[in-house]
Every structure is written in C-alpha cells, then in structure tokens.
Amino acid sequence: MKTFKSVFEKYNWDDIQSKIYASTTDQVELSLSKTKRNLEDFLALISPAAQPYLEQMAQQCHKLTKQRFGKTIQMYAPLYLSNECQNICTYCGFSLDNKINRKTLSALEIELEIAVLKKAGFDHVLLVTGEANYTVNINYFLNAIGQIKNDFSIISVEVQPLSQEEYERLHQAGVYSVLVYQETYHQEVYKKYHTKGKKSNFDLRLETPDRIGKAGIHKIGLGVLLGLEDWRTDSFFNALHLDYLQKAYWQTKYSVSFPRLRPAEGFIEPNFIMDDKDLTQLICAYRLWNEDLEISISTRENEKFRNNIIAIGTTSMSAGSKTNPGGYAADLQSLEQFEISDERSAAEIAAVITQKGYEPVWKDWDRTFSQKSQVESLKDSSILH
C-alpha cells in the first residue's frame, strides 16, 4: 500500500536545497500575490530571498489566522510519564547512553501530576515518554489514558512509533491527536544522530504518520528538530509530508511544531543556527501556504518571542511546562529532556494572551474559535512590533 516513502523518494535533498537558495525576489513577490499557494510558493517563502518581505508576510499571516481560527490561543501542558529510553540520540537528554536516574510514573504519581495541572486550569494534556518498548508500551499508555481521561477533554500523545493496530486502540481509548517528529528528513545523515535503537530506522519513522492516519486519529502533528540540518530544506520536506498526508487522509486535522535545539544532558551544538527572525519567517510561510494548519509554540522559546508570535500565526501554546517525569509534583529533581526557556506559569501566559486581545482557550476549542472568527483585528500598524 502506498505511503509517504513513495513520494519522498522522488525528491533529492541537495536539489531542493539548491532550489531554495536560488529563489528570487520575483518568485517571492509572485507567491505573496496569490490567494492560494502550493509547495513551490512555500519553497520561495522560506528562502533567503523572502527575508526582506517579512513584515508583509506577517501582516498576511495575521489576517489569515484570524479569519480561520479567530483570536484564540489553545492552552495545553505536556505531561512527561517516563524518561526511560532504548535509543541513543545525540541531541536528547533521555538518550540511553546518558548515565541518569530513570523514572516511569506510577499510577499514584500520575494522579499527583493531574492534580497540579487541573488546578492550573488545563483541560488539554500532551502525554510524553521516551522510547522504551518494554516499559512504556501500549498497555502502559492505555492504563495512563484510562486514569486521566475523565480529567481532560483533549488527550494528545508523543511517544515511540506504534503499529496501526496500536494507534487504533489509542483512538478507541480517547486519544485526540498524535505527534511524531522525523527530526530530520536528511536521510544520508539521519543515522549520525540516531545511532542505536528503533529510532535509527529512518523508514519506520517516516511511515509512522501513515499508520496514524489509517487508524483514524483525529489530528496528526509533525515537525523537525530545527538545528540538526539546514532548517529551510528540512522544513520543505516536512511541508511535503503534510501535503501528502492531507491528500491521503483528508478527514484528519494537522498541526506543526517548531522545536529548536535546546540545552540538555548529552546535548550537541546545533549544526545550523536559526534565530528568531528565521523562525518567524518559517511560521509565516507555513500559514501563507496552508491556512488550515494548526501552529503550536512550546516553552522552548523565550518570553519575548512567544509574546510577539501570538498575533501572527499561533493557534496553541504550552505553559508552565515541566519536561521531566513527575516535574509538576512527584519528583522535582528528575532529569529534564531539555531546558525550557519560558518559565512563566499558565496564569501568567494566559494574562499575556488576554492583554494581546486574544482569548486563552482551555476547552471547547472548535466552538470557541468559530464564535471568535469575526473579532476585529489588532489596531497596531505593524504586526512585528
């Protein structure tokens, strides 16, 4: 049966990279003049040639986001269930070769975490684990979901690649969305970053979203780890993947996240530096290419950036995040997967969103954004300032 691999194999990394960097201002202007855009337009909008047009891109991006999603920001919190992992990945604090204390939350510890998150107001939780198939497997996930589903309206998961049958079981258990990141689409160097474990299998991970789509999961989230390889080329392939999925599983919703390399135990220096202006350009390019795409910004990013990006293209934000198992209540000292940058509480983030003229949404996302779709735009003449 056809999967994204058959599409991916038609493209060459070096050819796409050369095409991006050869883009001209004429191509950028043509893309900006369109009301409907394709992958060729996305390629032009992430190119260096588009950088002088960032303000224009941001203005259009703000308008499209407001029309489609209203002036609302969905709030969510990651809940790290385990830092056990059988993979060796050069950039991750959970990597098997890091000599750290491993922890998988018990039912009681999960209950303590739930209590803290509910008190903070969250109704959307993202369950995250390392990839340890013997410990944190489908049975563990189902037990955890059964424990928390009465406390949260939306449950998302970010765990190891599973089989289609296992994703179907998650769907039946009440999982709303599944996030899976390829990390990099540069197949020739993928093994350099993923040296041991199932994650070192490039094709297995590449075809995971197909299994999620076939299982009927409501939403699929993709992304690349920005900083491993050239962010522009990796982002094109991520968009190519999204384009394929939207056509193959058209009833499914899609989101994109933008994890930039952050300090962690065993951390490598980024091979490619991506500054805030670059990330703003990328977010705008995604929105201009695909107005239905949900865009998520995590606490990896700093306060200033997160404050400014609210009015441009964001649809969801995490807040008060802890990236270590038990970090909210049960074990404040267990190892984090990466350091967060925005350490403000959920209440503080919600207050900033409100000050920006937006509404922080804790539940009933669909109903809220439809009611807000006609809210007037910001009075600021410049979206970027």
What digits encode the pLDDT tens for the residues 204-252?
A: 999 999 999 999 999 999 999 998 999 999 999 999 999 999 999 999 9
Please provide the average confidence, as pLDDT, over all residues in the chain: 90
∠ CA 9-11-12, nearest 5°, is 105
Per-residue pLDDT band for 382 (boundaries 50, 70, 90) equals low
Least confident piece of the model among 8-22, 57-71, 98-112: 98-112
Helix (H, G, I), strand (E, B) or coil at 17: helix
CA-wise closest residue to 129 among 149, 102, 166: 102
Q: Which pLDDT belongs to residue 263?
A: 56
**Containing H/E element for 202?**
helix 202-206
What digits encode the pLDDT tens for the residues 287-336?
A: 999 999 999 999 888 899 999 999 999 999 999 888 889 989 865 554 44
∠ CA 17-189-212, nearest 5°, is 85
Q: Does the pLDDT value for residue 365 go beyond 60?
A: no
Per-residue pLDDT band for 379 (boundaries 50, 70, 90) equals very low
Residue bearing the bigger pLDDT, 324 or 203: 203
Q: Does the pLDDT value for residue 374 go beyond 70?
A: no
DSSP for 121-172? T--EEEEEE---TTTSSHHHHHHHHHHHTTT-SEEEEE-S---HHHHHHHHH
